A = this chain, B = another copy of it.
Amino acid sequence: MGKSSIRGNEYQTKVNFGDCDPAGIVFYPNFYRWMDQSTHHYFTALGHPTSHLVMKEKIGMPIVEAKCQFHSPLLFDDIVTIHSTIIEMKNKVFTINHDFYKDGKKVAGGYEVRVWCDMSSENMKAVTIPNDIRNAINHTESLV
């Protein structure tokens, strides 16, 4: 309700020549690269740029699971819009859903499960998602 048509959890990218394989379609690991980019964009739009989190606060969000289903191939020069939504948030773990659209048609859909981690020592350690982040996500997703 009341969300504008341009939302922080929309990320747009273009299919580059080098993203495509000899079959002329996107080489599929690039979809996961774009999911990763869209997750970073999500937190930036939330007011918590991951470049700051990662480089200054030594916080990381390593992946424990990622899945994607591919419905239609993407081609060189296609414009892709990714809608990203955090659909579940536990104490230290969250799941972010990513739907890929081309010309308004869903072409792929997947998710990532990520862990909030302190990377300041050599062994990264899962930590509780801080309240300011948690509140910002809840507000964006209307989870509360």
Chain B residues near A21: list those with CB within 8 A: 17-18, 20-22
Q: Does A90 sit within 8 A of B, measured CB to CB?
A: no
Main secondary structure of the interface of A (DSSP, over half): mixed
Chain B residue, CB-CB nearest to A54: B22
What size tier do the contact residues of chain A reach? 35 or more
The minimal Cβ–Cβ distance linking A1 to chain B, given in whole angstroms, is 31
Interface flags, A35-55, vs B, CB<8A=1, else 0: 011001000100001110011
A33–B71 Cα gap in the complex (Å)? 19
> Smallest CB–CB gap between A132 and chain B, Å?
20
CA distance A28 to B60 in the complex (A): 13
Inter-chain contact B77/A49, CB cutoff 8 Å: yes
Whether the Cβ atoms of A51 and B66 lie closer than 8 Å is no
How many whole Å from A59's CB to the nearest CB in chain B?
10
| Alpha-carbon gap, A63 to B55, bound state (A) | 21
Least Cβ–Cβ distance between A80 and chain B, in angstroms: 14
